[in-house]
Amino acid sequence: MAGNWARESERFTPELSVMMHHGATRSREATFEKLAGAADMVITTYALATRDKAVLSKVPWRRIVLDEAQNVKNPEAKQTKAVRSLSSPRKVALTGTAVENHLGELCRSWRSSTLRLLGSATSFRERFVIPIGTVRR
């Protein structure tokens, strides 16, 4: 997935400088902070967001885009906690699979972004899950 983002960036936004944070030779500590600060886009994976949370947290991100946001729907999962801990004024959640098992997953995925249009889990359940479930019956 990370490689695909790099290829698409090169294709559609070749003027952007892209840093790939992936693999055993990836930059760490101060080197990472310097390189990430100079890049227009840093691409990494959910697994590395968890593993490298400490170094990723030191960067003042302007925007975080979560592709395949269904991967952060479990609020107890380490990768969800890692992603939510990253500070940014803007987070965008992208997914083609917003709901795999039940409607509540949509709210959980969106909670990992700064978009709070759906409200709290309780509010979402009252406003959407219960009425939609009633209509389906």
Question: What's the CATH number where 125 sits?
Answer: 3.40.50.10810
Q: How far is CA 106 from CA 64, 67, 71, 83, 86, in A?
A: 18, 14, 11, 17, 20
pLDDT of residue 115: 52
Number of domains in the chain: 1
Instruction: Identify the burial level of 4 via C-beta atoms within 10 angstroms of its C-beta, where 0-12 means exposed, 13-18 middle and 19 or more buried.
Output: exposed
Q: In whole angstroms, give the CA distance from residue 92 to residue 76.
A: 20
Query: Taking 90 as the threshold, does the pLDDT of residue 132 lie above it?
Result: no
**Do the beta carbons of residue 94 and residue 69 sit within 8 Å?**
yes
pLDDT tens digit sequence for 24-33:
889 988 999 9
133 vs 22: CA distance, rounded Å: 42
Do residues 85 and 53 make contact, with C-beta atoms less than 8 angstroms apart?
yes
The confidence score (pLDDT) of residue 1 equals 73
Domain coverage including residue 34: 2-136
Coil, helix or strand at residue 19: strand
pTM over 0.75: no
